C-alpha cells in the first residue's frame, strides 16, 4: 500500500510518523512546496526577535531525518498541482527543475495547512512589507531587521502572530504601532478581557490603534508611512501584515473535496473527506466544538498534530477518532500570558445560551510568596450550570489554570464542580483556595444561591440610561475617595447594618468592593434583610475601572 501526504509541517509529518508506527510495509511519501518541513511555526516570531538565535532550533528535522528514522520519503520543493481521485493519481511539479510528473496513491492525506490573509492594499508589494507564514518568510523579516535597522514598524492585526511580532520587534529596539480594525485588540477575547492586553501593550511602549483600518502603504522604493481610514499617517520602516490566516483548500476544492461551513475541508471524526481514501488534517481542515457540536475553524499546532496522528492511524487501519476541541489557545506578549478556551461570553450568547459570567481577580500564589495577580473570566450556562468557557490573563500561573479549566470543560463539568477539584496546594504553587475554585464558588452562588452578578458593562449601561439603581461601595472611605463608580454611596461593609433604613429594599441594588469578596458579603447582608434584588459587581471596582478608566476621583458618570 502507498500513502501520499500533501504537506509536511505539523499535521503531515505526524500522519506519516503514526502510519509508519502502525505498518512497516506501507510506502509513505510527503510532498511539500516549501524547503522546510516539520518546523515550529509558533516559534517564528521569537526567531525574528532575540530569543532564538539559530534557524536550526526551529527546523530540527529534514528529509534525511525522516528517511532514516521513519523510512518516509520527503520531497521538498515539490508542489502538487492536481488530484485525480478516480485514477488515484497526483500531478506534481518539481519546483527546482520545472518538470511535471504523475504520482499514484492508495491513500491520500491532505495537510496543506493555511495561508496568510493578504489584504488588497496598495503598496503591499514593496520589499519592506511582509507576511509571517513559514521559516523562509521569517528569514526575510529577520534579515530586513538586522540589515536595515528599522526604527519604526506597523503591525496590521492583533491576533497571536500580530502581538507576538509586536513584542519581538520591540525587543529589537523598534518603535511599534499595532492597528486593529475591530473594536479591541485580540478580537477573539471579550472586550472586558482584551483591555488588559491593550493596557499592557501601552505600558511596554507599543502604540495600540483600534477601530481603524489601513487603507494604503505609501513611499518609494520602500514603504515609509501607513495611511489609515481615519486619515492618520504612521511612520513605518517595516510593515507586518498579520490579518489572520485562511485554510489552504484550493487544491482540494478543485478535486471535488467538500468544504464545510467554515471554508475549511469537511471531515468526519476519522479525518475522512467525502472522497474515498482521501483524508484531511491540520490547518486546512475543520474541527468541531465540544460545547456546541458545530464545526469551527481553529488553526492551532496542537490540534494539527492531533489530527495528523488520527489521519495516519486511520489510513493504516487504526481506530483513533477525533473528539473535537475547545479552541484552546495561549500566547505570551512581553511578560503577560493570555489564554482562552471554550466559548467567550459573546460566543455563548450568539449560540443561544443564557450566559452567566464572573471575573476572578486573585494572585496565582500567596502574595507573601511572590504571588502575582491574574484574572479569570469564566462563562457558564444558566440552564444546565455547565462551564462553557474561560479566559485567563496574568504574568504567572495562567497556563496551569487554563489547563485545569480545559480539562473540566472537556469532561462536562458544572460550575459547582470547580470548587470540589482537589487541586495541589503549597505556598510556592498556589493559594489555599485556588482562583479556579473561586470561579466555581462565585458562579455557583449566582446560579443556585441567588447571589447574582452584574458585569461592569451591564452596570455602566444602566447608569448611562438613567435607570434607578442604588450603588453601594462597600470599601473603606480612603478607597472610595481614590476612585468609585458614579453615584455610588460609600457604605463600608462593617457599617451597612446600621444604614439599612436609609436604603430602599425595593430598588435594584448593586454592591461592590475592590475585587468582589466584600461586595458579596454586603450582598448577603442585604438579601438576608429582605432586599429584593441585589447584584454584586463582577470583578469589583478593579474590573470596572480597568474597562472604563474613570477620571476625577473615579466618578465617570457626572
Q: Buried b / exposed e across 239-263, counting CB within 10 Å, b at 16+?
A: bbbbbbbbbbbebbeebebebbebe
C-alpha cell at 103: 504520482
- Using alpha carbons, select from 307, 221, 301, 433 the residue that is nearest to residue 5: 307
* Share of the chain residues as helix, strand and coil, in percent rounded to the nearest 5: 35, 25, 40
The H-assigned helical ranges of 176-289 are 191-203, 250-254
C-alpha cell at 349: 450568547
The H-assigned helical ranges of 466-529 are 477-482, 517-528
| CA pair distance 293, 266, nearest whole angstrom | 14
| CA pair distance 312, 297, nearest whole angstrom | 21
What is the distance, to the nearest Å, from the Cα of residue 527 to the centroid of all Cα atoms in its chain?
39
C-alpha cell at 400: 496551569
Kindly state the DSSP code that residue 339 receives in the 8-state scheme. E
Is 281 an annotated catalytic residue?
no
**Helix-helix angle 191-203:540-548, to 10 degrees:** 70
Three-state SS sequence of 30-49: EEECCCCCCCCHHHHHHHHC
For 101, 250, 344, the CA distances from 104, given in Å and listed in that order, are 10, 20, 45
- Using alpha carbons, select from 235, 238, 171, 230 the residue that is nearest to residue 205: 171
| CA pair distance 223, 225, nearest whole angstrom | 6
Answer for the pair 528, 450: CB distance below 8 angstroms, yes or no: no
- Using alpha carbons, select from 127, 314, 335 the residue that is nearest to residue 238: 127
Kindly state the DSSP code that residue 186 receives in the 8-state scheme. S
Please state whether the peptide bond connecting residue 221 to the residue before it is cis, i.e. omega within 30 degrees of 0: yes
Helix (H, G, I), strand (E, B) or coil at 101: strand
Number of H helices, E strands in the chain: 16, 30
Compute, in degrees rounded to 10, the torsion defined by CA atoms 223, 228, 231, 232: -70
**Which residues are identified as catalytic?**
42
Amino acid at each position: 500500500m502507498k500513502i501520499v501526504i500533501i504537506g509536511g509541517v505539523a499535521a503531515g509529518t505526524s500522519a506519516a510518523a503514526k502510519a509508519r508506527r502502525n505498518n512497516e510495509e506501507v510506502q509513505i511519501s510527503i510532498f511539500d512546496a516549501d524547503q522546510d518541513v516539520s518546523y515550529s511555526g509558533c516559534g517564528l516570531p521569537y526567531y525574528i526577535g532575540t530569543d532564538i538565535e539559530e534557524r536550526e532550533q526551529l527546523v530540527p528535522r529534514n528529509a534525511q531525518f525522516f528517511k532514516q528514522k521513519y523510512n518516509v520519503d520527503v520531497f521538498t520543493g515539490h508542489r502538487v498541482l492536481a488530484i485525480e481521485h478516480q485514477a488515484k493519481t497526483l500531478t506534481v511539479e518539481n519546483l527546482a527543475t520545472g518538470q511535471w510528473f504523475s504520482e499514484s496513491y492508495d491513500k491520500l492525506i491532505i495537510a496543506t495547512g493555511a495561508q496568510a490573509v493578504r489584504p488588497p492594499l496598495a503598496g503591499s508589494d514593496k520589499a519592506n512589507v511582509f507576511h509571517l507564514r513559514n521559516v523562509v518568510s521569517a528569514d526575510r523579516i529577520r534579515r530586513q531587521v538586522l540589515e536595515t535597522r528599522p526604527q519604526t514598524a506597523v503591525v496590521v492585526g492583533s491576533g497571536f502572530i500580530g502581538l507576538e511580532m509586536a513584542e519581538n520587534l520591540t525587543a529589537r529596539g523598534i518603535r511599534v504601532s499595532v492597528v486593529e480594525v475591530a473594536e479591541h485588540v485580540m478580537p477573539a477575547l471579550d472586550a472586558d478581557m482584551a483591555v488588559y492586553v491593550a493596557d499592557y501593550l501601552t505600558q511596554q511602549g507599543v502604540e495600540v490603534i483600534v477601530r481603524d483600518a489601513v487603507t494604503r502603504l505609501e513611499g518609494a522604493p520602500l514603504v515609509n508611512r501607513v495611511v489609515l481610514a481615519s486619515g492618520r499617517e504612521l511612520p513605518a520602516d517595516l510593515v507586518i501584515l498579520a490579518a489572520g490566516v485562511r485554510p489552504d483548500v484550493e487544491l482540494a476544492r478543485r478535486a471535488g473535496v467538500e468544504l464545510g461551513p467554515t471554508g475549511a475541508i469537511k471531515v468526519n471524526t476519522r479525518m475522512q473527506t467525502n472522497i474515498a481514501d482521501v483524508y484531511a488534517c491540520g490547518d486546512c481542515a475543520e474541527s468541531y466544538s465540544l460545547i456546541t457540536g458545530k464545526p469551527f475553524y481553529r488553526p492551532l499546532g496542537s490540534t494539527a498534530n492531533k489530527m495528523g496522528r488520527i489521519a495516519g492511524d486511520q489510513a493504516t487501519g487504526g481506530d483513533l477518532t477525533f473528539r473535537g476541541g475547545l479552541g484552546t489557545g495561549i500566547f505570551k506578549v512581553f511578560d503577560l500570558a493570555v489564554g482562552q478556551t471554550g466559548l467567550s461570553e459573546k460566543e455563548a450568547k450568539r449560540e443561544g445560551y443564557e450566559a452567566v459570567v464572573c471575573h476572578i481577580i486573585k494572585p496565582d500564589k500567596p502574595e507573601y510568596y511572590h504571588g502575582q495577580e491574574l484574572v479569570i473570566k469564566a462563562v457558564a450556562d444558566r440552564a444546565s450550570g455547565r462551564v462553557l468557557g474561560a479566559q485567563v490573563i496574568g504574568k504567572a500561573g495562567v497556563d496551569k489554570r487554563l489547563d485545569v479549566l480545559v480539562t473540566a470543560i472537556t469532561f462536562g463539568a458544572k460550575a459547582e464542580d470547580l470548587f470540589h477539584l482537589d487541586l495541589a496546594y503549597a505556598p510556592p504553587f498556589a493559594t489555599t483556595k485556588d482562583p479556579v475554585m473561586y470561579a466555581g464558588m462565585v458562579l455557583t452562588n449566582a446560579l443556585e444561591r441567588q447571589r447574582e452578578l452584574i458585569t461592569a458593562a451591564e452596570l455602566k449601561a444602566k447608569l448611562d440610561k438613567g435607570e434607578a439603581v442604588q450603588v453601594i461601595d462597600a470599601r473603606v472611605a480612603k478607597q472610595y475617595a481614590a476612585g468609585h463608580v458614579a453615584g455610588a454611596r460609600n457604605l463600608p461593609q462593617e457599617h451597612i447594618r446600621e444604614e439599612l433604613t436609609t436604603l430602599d429594599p425595593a430598588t435594584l441594588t448593586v454592591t461592590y468592593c475592590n475585587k468582589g469578596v466584600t461586595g458579596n458579603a454586603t450582598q448577603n447582608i442585604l438579601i438576608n434583610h429582605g432586599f429584593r434584588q441585589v447584584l454584586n459587581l463582577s470583578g469589583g471596582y478593579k474590573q470596572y475601572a480597568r474597562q472604563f478608566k474613570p477620571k476625577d476621583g473615579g466618578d465617570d458618570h457626572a
